[in-house]
């Protein structure tokens, strides 16, 4: 076999070493993952229990296939906070997620007035999640305000769930939680924050007292107001905060089971938002329901951005 010229041999070896060096980086590219938003289910708890069950069953069934990392309920779990039978429907539905996918809940205005959320805390107390490794804490031993953590795509996330119209004291508690987890990318979930036109009065207060002050809060998700919308705001650090509203309770049959899925694609630095109803097995393709967000996901220390 003839010997290769030294220069050509060096070139081949250089190319081989370069290819080997690139392989680990290619193999380590984070996988896509999904977070699902569960908007107001009050009509399902009251009149359409099969729809609530179908939603939770679908989430559990596709969790592995879609690499679904977390499900966020946006409040108004039930229609009437004093009716135990409605809470039983919600409890039965969410049991389909237990042990299959991490999830969070929060009380909306239909789930009890501030300080009067007895049945909410009966069925969705901190004890329900005491053995869940993703459940991270709550305020005052109740689940009205709570936070959960999960890891996906090489990033650490914190889902901070706040009760309807949170008080100044609650927002200070929330600020302390966010500050104590400066390396986490924070998603704030609260029932009332915006309408399709933009933030409402409650949303402005939450923005001013909490959201804008923390560079690691990247997203706010909410329900309460019928409609869908996505807006962006700029926080005090100059970073983008994505604000998402989804609420389908005015649709036929109490909402027809519509959900929104957020598919994070680290390789593109994009979040693909889609509306889907497991009851109808349909997607909504209109821009208000299905769209793409820019979201920088290079694995880095979030704390560096906060300095």
Which residues face 274 on adjacent strands?
A: 261
Dig out the tokens for 8 from the structure: 């050509």
3-class DSSP state for residue 248?
coil
How far is the C-alpha of 42 from the C-alpha of 108, rounded, in Å? Answer: 10
Distance of CA 279 to the CA centre of its chain: 21
**Mean pLDDT calculated for residue range 187-198:** 97
Distance of CA 13 to the CA centre of its chain: 47
Dig out the tokens for 233 from the structure: 């705001």
Q: Map out the domains of the chain with their CATH numbers.
A: 32-306 (3.60.21.10)
Q: Which residue has the higher pLDDT, 305 or 184?
A: 184
- Residue 115: pLDDT band (50, 70, 90) is confident
3-class DSSP state for residue 30?
coil
pTM (2 decimals)?
0.89
Q: What is the pLDDT of residue 8?
A: 59
How far is the C-alpha of 16 from the C-alpha of 23, rounded, in Å? Answer: 11
Instruction: Encode pLDDT of 48-77 as tens digits.
Output: 999 999 999 999 999 999 999 999 999 999
- Residue 85: pLDDT band (50, 70, 90) is very high
Q: What is the pLDDT of residue 3?
A: 57
* Strand ranges in the chain using DSSP code E only, listed in sequence order: 33-38, 68-73, 103-104, 135-139, 142-152, 155-162, 185-190, 194-195, 198-199, 217-222, 227-234, 240-247, 259-265, 270-277, 282-284, 291-294
Mean pLDDT of the chain: 91
Least confidently predicted of 103-107, 162-166, 237-241, 296-300:
296-300
**Mean pLDDT calculated for residue range 281-307:** 78
How far is the C-alpha of 260 from the C-alpha of 248, rounded, in Å? Answer: 10
How far is the C-alpha of 39 from the C-alpha of 259, rounded, in Å? Answer: 7
How far is the C-alpha of 164 from the C-alpha of 72, rounded, in Å? Answer: 15
- Residue 19: pLDDT band (50, 70, 90) is very low
CA distances from 93 to 54, 168, 278 (A): 8, 33, 14
φ/ψ of 180, rounded to 5, equals -75, -10
């Amino acid at each position: 076999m003839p010997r290769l010229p030294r220069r050509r041999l060096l070139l081949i070896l250089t190319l081989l070493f370069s290819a080997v060096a690139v392989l680990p980086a290619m193999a380590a590219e984070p996988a896509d993952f999904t977070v699902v938003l569960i908007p107001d289910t009050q009509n399902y708890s009251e009149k359409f229990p099969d729809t609530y069950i179908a939603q939770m069953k679908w989430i559990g069934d596709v969790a592995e296939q879609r690499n679904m990392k977390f499900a966020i309920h946006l409040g108004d779990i039930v229609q009437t906070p004093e009716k135990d039978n409605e809470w039983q429907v919600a409890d039965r539905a969410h049991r389909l997620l237990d042990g299959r996918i991490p999830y969070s809940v929060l009380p909306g205005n239909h789930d009890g007035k501030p300080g009067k959320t007895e049945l909410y805390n009966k069925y969705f107390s901190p004890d329900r999640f005491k053995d869940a490794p993703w459940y991270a804490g709550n305020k005052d031993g109740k689940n009205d305000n709570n936070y959960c953590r999960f890891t996906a795509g090489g990033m650490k996330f914190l889902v901070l769930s706040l009760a309807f119209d949170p008080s100044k004291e609650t927002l200070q508690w929330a600020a302390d939680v966010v500050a104590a987890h400066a390396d986490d990318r924070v998603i704030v979930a609260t029932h009332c924050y915006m309408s399709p036109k933009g933030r409402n009065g409650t949303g402005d207060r939450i923005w001013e007292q909490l959201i804008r002050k923390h560079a690691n809060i990247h997203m706010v998700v909410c329900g309460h107001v019928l409609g869908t919308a996505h807006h962006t705001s700029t926080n005090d650090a100059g970073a983008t905060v994505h604000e998402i509203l989804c609420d389908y309770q005015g649709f036929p049959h109490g909402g027809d089971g519509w959900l929104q899925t957020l598919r994070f694609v680290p390789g593109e630095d994009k979040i693909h938002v889609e509306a889907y109803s497991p009851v109808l097995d349909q997607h909504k393709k209109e821009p208000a329901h299905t769209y793409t967000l820019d979201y920088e996901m290079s694995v880095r220390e979030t704390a560096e951005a906060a300095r």
